[in-house]
Structure 1
Amino acid sequence: MNVFLDGSTLSFTDIKLVLNKKATVEVHEDAWENVKKSRAVVEKLIEDKNVIYGVNTGFGKFSDTIISTDDLEHLQINLIRSHACAVGKPFSEDVSRVMLLLRANALAKGYSGIRPETLQLLIDCLNHEIHPVIPSQGSLGASGDLAPLAHLALVLVGEGEAIYLGEKLEAKEVLRRAGLKPIRLKAKEGLALINGTQALTSVGVLAYLEAQKLFHMANRVAALTLEGLRGIVDAFSPESHLVRPYPEQQEVAERILSYVEGSKLTTKQGELRVQDAYSLRCIPQVHGAISQTLNYVKEKLMIEINSATDNPLIFADSGKVISGGNFHGQPIAFAMDFLSIGVAEIANISERRIERLVNPQLNDLPAFLSTNPGLESGLMITQYVAASLVSENKTLAHPSSVDSIPSSANQEDHVSMGTTAARHAYEIVQNARKVVAIEAICAAQAADIRGCEKLAPESKLLHEKIRATVPLIISDRVFATDIENLDQALKQENWSFDTGAIT
């Protein structure tokens, strides 16, 4: 199973193959030619003593400082060492792996002026499952993800640390064990490795992929809640959604109806009550809008993962070297803030459905779904946990992209804070999944109280999956274990029953 990089056609399917199936990564033959042409331009410009930013000049505010030919290699290693100053908890191995992949894909595009052997070592690290240890804090998301990518680049020169076969080791030792040799950076190469958006984009890709999976599960869990609360299905009828023609809203309504088809628990308008609360009745409108958000995020990420985002860019056909700003993370910063808001809403409306499931004033079920109300508290405090997570998400969803702090003595006077936006979006996804897990636990318990044999066939499948992880509640127990176990289960691919994705 191989994934070929050419800088233009990398897909989410490819990323998942590299991430989950450890597919072998190769650079496409045509891409190698582009890489070689780009490098040849750099070497010719150096030979002709042209002044090129980051090749024979300093960086940032030092862009007007000319560097002698004898110091060009020293300039590049100094860049990597000085910029490797990120702090905080390291990114996960998954993030580190995707960063390697995305950086390699950007370099394979052929506009970075890097040598083929340097790109090959990036690929070799991927294929040997060498994952650089990269602290997660310290990037402004403009001038690229300089600090995080510098930690990635350190490993290629045999410095820094990496995870190899589950063990954290010095990079030099990791390369030795894998049968690889560190490189000695030549002109332009250090800058080519660190000037890009691959840290914020890698976190963004993982946040999106998990959010997409969570979204589909939230629809299924919402349908199970609808049955547990004997909800009214009229609100999901196609007629009302055709007159407000958002495709995503229509599709969510259609899916909910398909999930509850054959249910003996759902009701019709006027049968028990005329209308349901918004958290039930407005599932298509709210979840549909969330789907729109996911579509937007997917579109921007697809562009970014196949972009040249370093500076300067080398155009081999014309011989031009252009100092521009493709490293600026604003497009993905906006997308990540939007993702944060959308996923926070998954949790917001889910928590309201949890409240309707456990609150005896809002349903005809035993108080807090307890088997012995009063003596036992049942699922009372799970709603507290959901409320706490929802509140935390509200603070995390504060947009990062509206902030900017000048850097490099005001040479780099506007930045995106996109990496912070991506990190927060990822945290929100983790919190939201726990909220949906709590709703699933409560909805399954309500279904058992009502009689799970009355569930729609689709909901029965979901109920069985939940019960395989969270046993029927017959008395109070430590529910933290149930929430954690179901949260982990929801992350797995085999929980994605849907054959067609909305986003």
Structure 2
Amino acid sequence: MTPVTIRPGAMRLSEWRAVYCGAPAALDPACRSAVEAGAQTVAAIVARGEPVYGINTGFGRLANVRIDAADLAQLQRNLVLSHAAGVGEPLPDPVVRLVMALKIANLGQGASGIRFETLAFLGTLLERDLIPVIPAQGSVGASGDLAPLAHLACALIGVGEIAVAGERRPAAEALAEAGLRPLALAPKEGLALLNGTQVSTALALAGLFGAEGVLQAALVTGALATDAARGSDGPFDPRIHALRRHRGQIETADALRRLMQGSAIRASHLTGDERIQDPYCLRCQPQVMGACLDLLRQAGTTLETEGNGVSDNPLVFVAEGEVISGGNFHAEPVAFAADTIALALCEIGSLAERRISLLTDPALSGLPAFLTPRPGLNSGFMIPQVTAAALVSENKGMAHPASVDSIPTSANQEDHVSMATHGAYRLLRMARNTGHVIAIELLAAAQGCDFHSPLASSEPLERVRARLRASVPHLTDDRLMAPDIARAMALVAGGTVVEAAGVGLPGVDHAG
């Protein structure tokens, strides 16, 4: 993969996606002068002995406690150790790589007061794929992602664990084997590493990229299901969508039209015997999927901005020689973005499940009951539709907005929080759930089209069917269904369905 240069304050969504997908990433050395100037400002404040939050005071509710100069290094170490209180399963390595890159971009703007060697050390871990083990739970999304980022900082000082080639190792051992010595943190550095929205932002970005993938796959399977159900492509006529003017709706209608163009199945029912109007799950795909696309693009804009911002506290202003305490760590924008992505994921899966249900119902589809040639003896797709319904219901429960909740922390010093981190973490599961629904639709739609043989669908959709049939044969009699769903899910999650279609589909990057 093409290496990514982390340019603090100037990263694009596509570059964050590349880092998440495993592209090598390295810090742009051009930021060195800004970082060093910020560190010099902190050093001057320490030399003057004036009290400044996070440099020579306690933290949170203990901000009024002065710390002696001799204890400043211990203060930062204690901060990291005491805040590493996360629980739960470790975050996936790709998410942690993205956390590291986002943290580098944040610190690299010179407003955090850390030394360049500290920033470079974090960059070295990223370049060598030495991935800190970060428990997923324990952040409320304000005062930064304190607990999870403390686990990141622990790895830098040789405490906790680091994943090396997927194996969890004691951090001190992993650093030693890599020829690296643990860092001794300078004033402000522990707080700068802990404070910020990088974990919630990384999780929200991962959810966004997952949602984009399932939306594009759902356009393909939705078109295939429409053909299987002998539905009309009339509702995708561009004149309809131009009148409403929503960009996402216009683009998804165009994609569905191109996916179905040239279908012999569609051509076979243009003789007046078709339904006057298709059910909404077929007819209103552009309206629903277009709205989802617009939501994802709005979330992408927010997250791209967040990734380019500075979100720790306090902040160093070199020109004035000042350190000012504020609240950029509050992850409300990320929380809203995560809630938006959750809504889109919920609706993508919900609409697809309705199409699966339609295909299995002979009264609606005109196809054999449950898409099996011998219903009764065989159950066919009866239970895969139940599985899809279960996943959609699970997503509905998880789609409740996380951002509307707040539990005060730190003796009411931090009295309103965003809950962005778990709001973003759920997106990983929601995207998997939706992906499985789309995988079931792929199987059902391909099976439905099989009954129209010898008529074929369009060239793009036939390429998708051929790719599926290379690993999942037509269902004649009942067999174990779980492996079929797993193989179809691999095609959805790996992008193969979209790639096989070979039709340019709208995505979140196209927000201009």
CA distance in 2, matches of 1:53, 1:304: 24
Q: CA deviation at 1:21?
A: 4.4
Work out whether residues 17 and 209 of structure 2, in 8 Å CA contact, stay in contact via their aligned partners in 1.
Answer: no
Instruction: Report Cα offsets for 1:126-162 as digits up to 9, x if no partner.
Output: 1110111111111000000000000011000000001
Structure 2 equivalent of residue 60 of structure 1: 60
Work out whether residues 216 and 505 of structure 2, in 8 Å CA contact, stay in contact via their aligned partners in 1.
Answer: no
Work out whether residues 281 and 351 of structure 2, in 8 Å CA contact, stay in contact via their aligned partners in 1.
Answer: yes
Structure 2 residue runs of 5 or longer lacking an equivalent are: none
Structure 1 equivalent of residue 435 of structure 2: 433
Give the 5 Å matches for 1:76-115. Answer: 76-115=76-115
Quickly say closer, same or farther: Cα 1:37–1:494, change in 2 above 3 A. farther
Counterpart of 1:17 in structure 2: which amino acid?
A
Counterpart of 2:24 in structure 1: which amino acid?
A
Structure 2 equivalent of residue 395 of structure 1: 397
CA distance in 2, matches of 1:156, 1:134: 13
- Corresponding position: 1:207 with 2:212: no
Counterpart of 1:441 in structure 2: which amino acid?
L
Counterpart of 2:249 in structure 1: which amino acid?
Q
CA distance in 1, matches of 2:359, 2:101: 44
- Bigger mean CA offset, 92-101 vs 348-357: 92-101
Q: CA deviation at 1:361?
A: 2.3
Cα RMSD of the aligned pairs, angstroms, is 1.4
CA distance in 2, matches of 1:247, 1:204: 23
Work out whether residues 230 and 365 of structure 2, in 8 Å CA contact, stay in contact via their aligned partners in 1.
Answer: no
Work out whether residues 27 and 104 of structure 2, in 8 Å CA contact, stay in contact via their aligned partners in 1.
Answer: no
* Of 339, 342, 365, the match for 2:341: 339
Q: CA deviation at 1:97?
A: 1.1
Instruction: Report Cα offsets for 1:88-139 as digits up to 9, x if no partner.
Output: 1111111111111111111111110011111111111111101111111110
Give the 5 Å matches for 1:40-439. Answer: 40-266=40-266, 267-268=269-270, 270-439=272-441
Quickly say closer, same or farther: Cα 1:150–1:436, change in 2 above 3 A. same
Structure 2 equivalent of residue 445 of structure 1: 447
Structure 1 equivalent of residue 21 of structure 2: 20
- Classify the secondary structure of the residue corresponding to 1:450: coil
Instruction: Report Cα offsets for 1:382-429 as digits up to 9, x if no partner.
Output: 010000001001110011100000000000000000001101222211
Q: CA deviation at 1:501?
A: 3.0
- Classify the secondary structure of the residue corresponding to 2:73: helix
Q: CA deviation at 1:20?
A: 3.2
CA distance in 1, matches of 2:91, 2:240: 45
Counterpart of 1:168 in structure 2: which amino acid?
R
CA distance in 2, matches of 1:502, 1:12: 11
- Classify the secondary structure of the residue corresponding to 1:88: strand
Counterpart of 2:17 in structure 1: which amino acid?
K
Q: CA deviation at 1:494?
A: 4.3
* Of 482, 491, 499, the match for 2:504: 499
Work out whether residues 162 and 169 of structure 1, in 8 Å CA contact, stay in contact via their aligned partners in 2.
Answer: yes
Give the 5 Å matches for 1:448-459. Answer: 448-451=450-453, 453-459=455-461
Work out whether residues 18 and 25 of structure 1, in 8 Å CA contact, stay in contact via their aligned partners in 2.
Answer: no
Counterpart of 1:4 in structure 2: which amino acid?
T
Structure 1 equivalent of residue 463 of structure 2: 461
CA distance in 2, matches of 1:470, 1:109: 51
Counterpart of 1:332 in structure 2: which amino acid?
V
Q: CA deviation at 1:235?
A: 1.2
Q: CA deviation at 1:270?
A: 4.3
Instruction: Report Cα offsets for 1:426-459 as digits up to 9, x if no partner.
Output: 2211111100110110001011111265211111
Structure 1 residue runs of 5 or longer lacking an equivalent are: none
Work out whether residues 234 and 268 of structure 1, in 8 Å CA contact, stay in contact via their aligned partners in 2.
Answer: no
Instruction: Report Cα offsets for 1:236-272 as digits up to 9, x if no partner.
Output: 1122112111111111111111111111222449432
Work out whether residues 99 and 202 of structure 2, in 8 Å CA contact, stay in contact via their aligned partners in 1.
Answer: yes
- Bigger mean CA offset, 295-304 vs 449-458: 449-458
CA distance in 2, matches of 1:201, 1:125: 20
Give the number of equivalent residue pairs: 502
Counterpart of 1:109 in structure 2: which amino acid?
Q
Work out whether residues 329 and 418 of structure 1, in 8 Å CA contact, stay in contact via their aligned partners in 2.
Answer: yes
Structure 2 equivalent of residue 36 of structure 1: 36
- Bigger mean CA offset, 476-485 vs 54-63: 476-485
Counterpart of 2:438 in structure 1: which amino acid?
V
CA distance in 2, matches of 1:272, 1:63: 72
Work out whether residues 2 and 26 of structure 1, in 8 Å CA contact, stay in contact via their aligned partners in 2.
Answer: no
Q: CA deviation at 1:474?
A: 2.1
- Classify the secondary structure of the residue corresponding to 1:159: coil
Counterpart of 1:489 in structure 2: which amino acid?
L
CA distance in 1, matches of 2:463, 2:368: 24
Work out whether residues 438 and 492 of structure 2, in 8 Å CA contact, stay in contact via their aligned partners in 1.
Answer: no
Quickly say closer, same or farther: Cα 1:473–1:329, change in 2 above 3 A. same
Q: CA deviation at 1:210?
A: 1.3
